[in-house]
């Protein structure tokens, strides 16, 4: 009899086994941040900074992501994510993965970073280790500087459990009335208006032989805790225990029902200040079960919501030590360089703005311009472009999107100056930019007061695009100048985030930006654009088509290649399309800084896909999309990650980079990143990440360091 042929199980690309959970993938990203705090190759104060970033990231994760999962559980949502987990299962998995991570963080700070800081003359002491003279000083400091700010709150039948604000550090205090022998519970908030760490004067600083003392001090909560008798006179202080809570801080705005979006956002911000439900409590390991249970009951928490810390709570406050005068313990200073093509530009003079060797507009007319921050200066490129437009008498109109900007924004000041100079200025301010809502409201009001046309975006969509359109009269014609970027118009974050920006005056780009701004500010059903890929209209379909084109080339026997650099890869349909590309033989390289739900290296599914994450001095924020296209390379940059929210619920813009020199520059950037063996981490099929290690220091290739060196060489050349 002929042998029966064993059938191979059919691969179903939507199978949950081929997808990582979004929340757990984010935790792996934050774990890579924490690992920078462990890496002895990273300067000591930078390691302290990464410890603080890890905590700050976690705070936002709980305020938004965990809060949303808890809400889903409360209303009975059981629909699984693409990886097959229900909201409740995700909460349990988050707890299991995160709890040991938090323990590692605090243990490392206590056992490694604090002693290493001490070896460099930075002493973060505990109150119990102080001598009598130091304690006397801090007692006097407490009475004069701290005591007047404190408000002890009793908890008993006549004093209900007090409201505890989001991210606040508190002391749970147990006192005993010596007359009645009754024990009482009180809460003392550690005021965030005071420095978290109290420095001792020079004369009382710790001195060790052979070490120059730079700073000596103690945590504020310990100064308060050892002077509690001043807050409860006549009472016996039995015990105190630090704790910290995190609340749901996401805004819920019913835009369809809001007559005035600005007012609706303001009302939600007031609610945020009072805070939503508590989603996490951090407690010191010494806290007894009785007090822990009381706090849990009063705030509606379970044991799974409580994270135990053996050491200092709220390590995000370690950011303050970056101000210490210890340059040898920090990354070498870096000053962004002016792009070589912009060096000869004249200073922007309000009286005579275009006098000089050349103006910005002439540079763009000669050739498209690509800038890469923070290697190249934001101030002498993007900021200068907008400032010159504000004062140039030939400029008629400036239109711009603002998602996040700095509190003292020179960009906003330039827009105000433009309006005062009689130009038509229209700005779309995204009021729903999370945790920047209040800042954006203030700037929106200031812009409106100056006569700027301010629009607050579209109902149901966040406007996340990074666009500037300048309309200029030139020799009896109108010319449009565009900036299309990957990052926010924020000069502060432009020194910390890597981002790209394209300047062009190509007719199709100008027409597309005109149409897109008309869509944002008026009434428009436009879905097709000449060059731009715009979400939520065309971006998703076009990206799928570009991947499919590589698949078709590969099936026809041609070389095919895809390289994508994004902050996050979550969208199931695009992940499935990349799986199809891998199955067809397309070589796919993904540079994904944060969340990646795609599982690489699975036989028959994704063995042709490599995923790396780069965690370094700068936060990788740029998005680049490269498609080989049978030798006719196409490269795009823009504001969108590959997430459902970016593709379906945000206004995003991605542009082709058509100048061949600039397209080659972007390919070089991608190549440098893919060759990184210092800051790069390889995603494994099981969801873990392995950091690349050079065989020797001489072979080390840090992509960010290389790009800084290239920018410096161009400056010197």
Catalytic residues: 464
Reduced to 3 states (helix: H, G, I; strand: E, B; else coil), residue 215 is: strand
**Which tokens is 351 given?**
């009286």
Spatial distance between the Cα atoms of 381 and 372, rounded to a whole number of angstroms = 10
Spatial distance between the Cα atoms of 303 and 316, rounded to a whole number of angstroms = 24
Residue 350 CA neighbour count, 13 Å, CB half: 5
DSSP letters for 427-482: EEE-TTSTT-HHHHHHHHHHHHHTT-EEE--BTTBEE---EEEEEEEETTEEEEEE
Roughly how many angstroms between the first and final C-alpha of the chain, as a whole number?
79
Inter-axis angle of helices 87-108 and 44-61, to 10 degrees?
160
Residue located via tokens 């599914």: 605
Which H/E stretch holds residue 75?
A: none
Q: Which of 387, 421, 522, 520 is nearest to 462 (CA)?
A: 520
Bridge partner list, 19: 598
Q: Where are the alpha helices (DSSP H) in 300-450?
A: 360-366, 384-391, 410-420, 437-449
Contact criterion met (CB below 8 Å) for 680 and 701: no
Question: Which residue pairs from 517-521 have beta carbons closer than 8 angstroms and sit at least 24 positions apart in sequence?
Answer: 517/399, 517/426, 517/428, 517/467, 517/469, 520/401, 520/428, 520/455, 520/457, 520/458, 520/463, 520/651, 521/426, 521/428, 521/453, 521/455
Reduced to 3 states (helix: H, G, I; strand: E, B; else coil), residue 306 is: strand
Spatial distance between the Cα atoms of 215 and 212, rounded to a whole number of angstroms = 9
Tell the burial category of 255 from Cβ atoms under 10 Å away from its Cβ (0-12, 13-18, 19+).
middle
Residues contacting 379, CB < 8 A, separation 6+: 336, 491
Contact criterion met (CB below 8 Å) for 573 and 643: no
Spatial distance between the Cα atoms of 105 and 88, rounded to a whole number of angstroms = 26
Residues contacting 317, CB < 8 A, separation 6+: 52, 196, 197
Say how many residues make up the chain. 717
Residue located via tokens 């009180």: 186
**Which tokens is 256 given?**
């369809």
Give phi and psi for 472, each to the nearest 5: -130, 140
Q: Which of 703, 707, 706 is nearest to 677 (CA)?
A: 703
Read off the DSSP letter of residue 99: H
Virtual torsion, Cα 284, 286, 288, 289, nearest 10 deg: 60
Q: Which of 388, 398, 390, 397 is nearest to 355 (CA)?
A: 388
**CA distance readout (Å), 287 to 47, 218, 252, 534:** 29, 21, 35, 53
Spatial distance between the Cα atoms of 244 and 168, rounded to a whole number of angstroms = 6
**Which tokens is 457 given?**
């975006």
Contact criterion met (CB below 8 Å) for 215 and 324: yes
Contact criterion met (CB below 8 Å) for 318 and 332: no
Residues contacting 361, CB < 8 A, separation 6+: 388, 392, 472, 474, 479, 481, 505
**Cβ count near 77 (within 10 Å):** 13
Reduced to 3 states (helix: H, G, I; strand: E, B; else coil), residue 693 is: coil
């Amino acid at each position: 009899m002929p042998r029966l042929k064993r059938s191979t199980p059919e691969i179903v690309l939507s199978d949950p086994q081929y997808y990582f959970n979004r929340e757990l993938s984010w935790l792996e990203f934050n774990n890579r941040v924490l690992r920078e705090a462990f890496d002895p190759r990273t300067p000591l104060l930078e390691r302290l900074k990464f410890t603080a970033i890890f905590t700050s990231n976690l705070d936002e994760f709980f305020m938004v992501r965990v809060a949303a999962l808890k809400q889903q559980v409360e209303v009975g949502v059981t629909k699984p994510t693409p990886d097959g987990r229900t909201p409740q299962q995700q909460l349990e998995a988050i707890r299991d993965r995160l709890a040991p991570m938090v323990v590692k963080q605090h243990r490392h700070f206590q056992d490694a970073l604090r002693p290493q800081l001490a070896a460099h003359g930075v002493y973060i002491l505990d109150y119990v280790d102080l001598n009598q003279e130091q304690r006397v000083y801090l007692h006097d400091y407490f009475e004069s500087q701290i005591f007047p700010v404190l408000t002890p709150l009793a908890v008993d039948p006549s004093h209900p459990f007090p409201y505890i604000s989001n991210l606040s550090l508190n002391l749970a205090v147990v006192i005993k009335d010596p007359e009645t022998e009754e024990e009482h519970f009180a809460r003392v908030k550690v005021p965030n208006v005071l420095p978290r760490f109290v420095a001792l004067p020079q004369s009382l600083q710790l001195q060790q032989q052979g070490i120059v003392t730079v700073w000596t001090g103690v945590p504020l909560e310990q100064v308060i805790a050892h002077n509690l008798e001043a807050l409860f006179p006549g009472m016996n202080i039995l015990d105190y225990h630090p704790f910290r809570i995190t609340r749901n801080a996401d805004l819920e705005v019913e835009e369809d029902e809001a007559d005035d979006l600005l007012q609706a956002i303001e009302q939600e911000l007031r609610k945020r200040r009072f805070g939503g439900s508590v989603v996490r409590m951090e407690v010191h390991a010494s806290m007894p079960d009785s007090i822990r249970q009381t706090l849990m009951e009063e705030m509606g928490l379970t044991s799974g919501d409580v994270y135990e810390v053996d050491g200092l709570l709220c390590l995000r406050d370690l950011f303050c030590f970056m101000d210490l005068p210890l340059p040898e313990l920090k990354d070498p200073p870096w000053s962004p360089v002016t792009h070589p093509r912009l060096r000869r530009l004249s200073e922007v003079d309000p009286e005579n703005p275009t006098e000089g060797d050349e103006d910005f507009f002439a540079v763009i007319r000669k050739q498209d311009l690509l800038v890469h921050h923070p290697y190249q200066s934001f101030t002498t490129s993007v900021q200068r472009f907008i400032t010159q437009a504000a004062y140039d008498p030939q400029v008629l109109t400036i239109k711009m999107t603002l998602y996040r900007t700095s509190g003292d924004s020179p960009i906003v000041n330039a827009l105000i100056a433009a309006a005062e100079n009689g130009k038509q200025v229209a700005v779309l301010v995204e009021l729903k930019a999370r945790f920047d809502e209040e800042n954006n409201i203030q700037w929106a009001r200031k812009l409106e007061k100056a006569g700027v046309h301010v629009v607050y975006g579209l109902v149901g969509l966040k406007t996340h695009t990074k666009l500037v359109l300048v309309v200029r009269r030139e020799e009896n014609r109108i010319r449009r100048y565009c900036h299309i970027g990957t990052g926010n118009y924020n000069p502060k974050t432009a020194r910390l985030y890597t981002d790209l920006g394209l300047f062009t005056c190509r007719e199709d780009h100008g027409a597309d930006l005109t149409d897109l701004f008309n869509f944002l500010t008026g009434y428009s059903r436009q879905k097709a654009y000449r060059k731009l890929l715009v979400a939520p209209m065309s971006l998703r379909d076009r990206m799928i088509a570009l991947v499919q084109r590589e698949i078709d080339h590969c099936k026809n026997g041609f070389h095919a290649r895809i390289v994508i650099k994004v902050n996050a890869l979550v969208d199931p349909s695009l992940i499935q399309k990349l799986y199809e590309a891998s199955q067809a033989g397309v070589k796919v390289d993904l540079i994904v800084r944060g969340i990646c739900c795609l599982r690489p290296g699975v036989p028959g599914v994704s063995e042709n896909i490599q995923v790396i994450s780069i965690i370094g001095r700068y936060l990788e924020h740029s998005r680049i999309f490269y498609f080989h296209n049978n030798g006719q390379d196409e490269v795009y940059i823009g504001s969108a990650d590959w997430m459902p929210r970016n593709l379906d619920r945000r206004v995003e813009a991605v542009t082709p980079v058509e100048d061949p020199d600039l397209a080659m520059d972007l390919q070089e950037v991608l190549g440098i990143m893919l060759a990184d063996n210092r800051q790069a981490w390889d995603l494994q099929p099981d969801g873990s990440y392995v950091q690349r290690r050079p065989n020797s220091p001489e072979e080390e290739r840090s992509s960010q360091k290389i790009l800084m060196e290239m920018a410096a060489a161009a400056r010197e050349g």
